[in-house]
Amino acid sequence: MNHNQPVYTDNDPQEELVTLNLGPTHPATHGVFQNVIQLDGERIVSGVSTIGYIHRAFEKIAEHRPFYQITPLTDRLNYCSSPINNMGWHMTVEKLLNIQLPKRVDYLRVIIMELARISDHIICNTIIAQDTGATTTFLYLFQFREHIYEIYEEVCGARLTTNIGRIGGFERDFNEIAFAKINKFLKEFPVALREFESLLNRNRIFIDRTAGVARVSAETALDYSWSGPLLRATGVDYDVRVSDPYSSYQDFDFEVPVGTSGDIYDRYLVRNEEMWQSVRIIEQAMEKLKHEPPHIFHADVPEFYLPAKEEVYNNMEALIYHFKIVMGEIDAPKAEVYHSVEGGNGELGFYLINDGGRTPYRLHFRRPSFINYQMFAPMSKGMLLSDAIINMSSMNIIAGELDA
């Protein structure tokens, strides 16, 4: 049965449209989005999205903060995978300053970024399941997000808004507990993920609710500048990690999963497969770390890398560098740079213009959620209301990233 065809024709005498205001605090929308939709029975005739309900003026703040103080802002963009944002920002600055990182730092970053990707995809996929009526998976897989947070805690002390790393590397080396926790995660998570898949992948209810719903062709997706798992579900193998490798991703052997029809089921499968690939990448990174010289966790760039606190208190030079860095007096070239990383939702870009002042002259974030979300209202036309809700959760729109 093709249930995406409208039941009524335009000249149906029974036609009577209902206007429904979904949001901005509707429980089904998982965030602060407002959609005013016209309904013909259960079917959506048209919709208008309103966003900006948590607009926090990131770009304006960034013009008033030195580089290091922008890292906490990036945390709050996509707060489901904040380490990717942090490191994306640090890499942008490193590109500006032409800093080369030791391989070990790159691999440590890859581990953290892939863990962040897993935690992001856990949220999205369990929420899809939750919205189709399966609460179990949510309670089950969220446990592993806690394990990922524990690893972050070992590395940087924070759980969600991590503010992880420095320009040039990490603030401290990973300790034994962190490595032990990563190893434990690598052992336990695949078991749980396999179970998660066996609960949903061939689940009749789940497939009925998701397969064939909200199909998007590759042309449409490119036309709307989609990126990330949403674009890959339509069959375009665009992944910044492969097309424009950063942080030594070229050293790793992994695959970019693609879908065929771009429907919700494909997006779910793509995200699941990406979690498997992330596990693979972390395993390889742990193996590669063994062949790198130990205890190197930052590049040797004292003029840009914030020194450790005990150094600052006991060492004259470190104190001077600390002062200069914190006050934003570092010598950065007057240039503009665009750097992008593969965030949880797609291409997360940083467009930085530096004029040699204390703060960036302009910093623009290319936010995948913002650009992906604009298609929601047009693509909802003709969809059932309940399908539109799952469609929204499968797009994994993060309000902080949407509104900036």
Partner 1 sequence: MAEDTNHNLIEVLSTRFGDKVTAVSEPYGLLTFETSKDVIVEVLRFLKEDNRFNYLTDITAVHYPEKHQAIAVVYHLHNMVAKVRVRVKVFISEHTPTIPTATVLWNGANWMERETYDLFGVKFEGHPDLRRILNMDELGVHPMLKQYPLEDPNRVDKKDEYFGR
Partner 2 sequence: MSDINIVDAPPGIEGSGFFATSFDKVIGLARSHSLWPLPFATSCCGIEFMATMGSHYDLGRFGSERLSFSPRQADVLMVMGTIAKKMGPVLKQVYLQMAEPRWVMAVGACASSGGIFDTYSVLQGIDEIIPVDVYVPGCPPRPEAILDGFTKIQELVRNESGRRRHSPEYKELLASYGIL
Residue whose CB is less far from partner 1, 159 or 381: 381
Among 7, 17, 139, 327, binds partner 2 (CB under 8 A): 139
Q: How far is the CB of 70 from partner 1 (least distance, A)?
A: 14
3-class secondary structure for the chain? Answer: CCCCCCCCCCCCCCCCCEEEEECCCCHHHCCCCEEEEEEECCEEEEEEEECCCCCCCHHHHHCCCCHHHHHHHHHCCCCCCHHHHHHHHHHHHHHHHCCCCCHHHHHHHHHHHHHHHHHHHHHHHHHHHHHCCCHHHHHHHHHHHHHHHHHHHHHHCCCCCCCCCECCECCCCCCHHHHHHHHHHHHHHHHHHHHHHHHHCCCHHHHHHHCCCCCCCHHHHHHCCCCCHHHHHCCCCCCHHHHCCCCCHHHCCCCCCCCCCCCHHHHHHHHHHHHHHHHHHHHHHHHHHCCCCCCCCECCCCCCCCCCHHHHHHCHHHHHHHHHHHCCCCCCCCEEEEEEEECCCCEEEEEEEECCCCCCCEEEEECHHHHHHCCHHHHHCCCEHHHHHHHHHHHCCCHHHHHC
- Shortest Cβ 42–partner 2 spacing (Å): 20
Residue 122 binds partner 2 (CB under 8 A): no
Residue 372 tokens read as: 């992906």
Scan residues 161-180 and list those touching partner 2 (CB under 8 A): 161
- Residues 67-96 close enough to bind partner 1 by CB under 8 A: 95-96
Residues 363-392: x where in contact with partner 2 by CB under 8 A, - otherwise, as a string = ------------------------------
Nearer to partner 2, 79 or 351 (CB): 79
Q: Is 349 in the site for partner 1 (CB under 8 A)?
A: yes
CB of 155 to partner 2, least distance (A): 16
Rounded least distance, CB 14 to partner 2, Å:
31
Rounded CA gap, 262 and 233, in Å? 5
Task: Please say which residue, 64 or 358, places its beta carbon nearer to partner 2.
Answer: 64
How far from the centroid of its chain's Cα atoms is residue 63's Cα? 23
The site partner of 172 among partner 2, partner 1, none (C-beta below 5 to 8 Å per kind) is none
Does residue 201 bind partner 1 (CB under 8 A)?
A: no
What backbone torsions phi and psi does residue 268 show, to the nearest 5 degrees? -60, -45
Q: Say which amino acid occupies 284.
A: Q
Note whether 184 binds partner 2 by CB under 8 A. no
Give the nearer residue to partner 2 in terms of CB position, either 162 or 284.
Answer: 162
Binding-residue pattern over the window 29 to 68 for partner 2, x denoting contact by CB under 8 A:
--xx-------------------xxxxxx--xx-------
Which of the ranges 73-81, 169-177, 317-325, 377-385 carries the binding residues for partner 2, by CB under 8 A? 73-81
Residue 39, H or E segment = strand 34-40
- Binds 138, which of partner 2, partner 1, none (CB < 5 to 8 A, cut-off by type)? partner 2
Written as six digits, the tokens of 335 are 């240039």
Give the residue, chosen from 68, 89, 174, 224, that forms a contact with partner 1 under the rule CB under 8 A: 224
Q: Is 338 in the site for partner 1 (CB under 8 A)?
A: yes
- Does residue 52 interact with partner 1 by CB under 8 A? yes
Region of 307 (left: φ > 0; alpha: ψ -120 to 50; beta: rest) is beta
According to the binding rule CB under 8 A, does residue 332 interact with partner 1? Answer: no
Given 64, 184, 309, 358, the residue binding partner 1 (CB under 8 A): 64
Q: Helix, strand or coil for residue 54?
A: coil
Select from 136-144, 166-174, 234-242, 355-363 the region that touches partner 2 (CB under 8 A).
136-144
Binding pattern for the stretch 75-94 against partner 2, x by CB under 8 A and - elsewhere: xx--xx--------------
H/E element holding 311?
helix 309-314
- Given the rule CB under 8 A, which of 205-213, 254-262, 269-277, 371-379 is the region that contacts partner 1? 371-379
Pick 23 or 259: Cβ nearer partner 2 = 23
Judged by CB under 8 A, does residue 152 bind partner 1? no
Using CB under 8 A, list all residues that contact partner 2: 24-25, 27, 31-32, 52-57, 60-61, 72-73, 75-76, 79-80, 123, 138-140, 142-143, 145-146, 149, 159-161, 399-400, 403
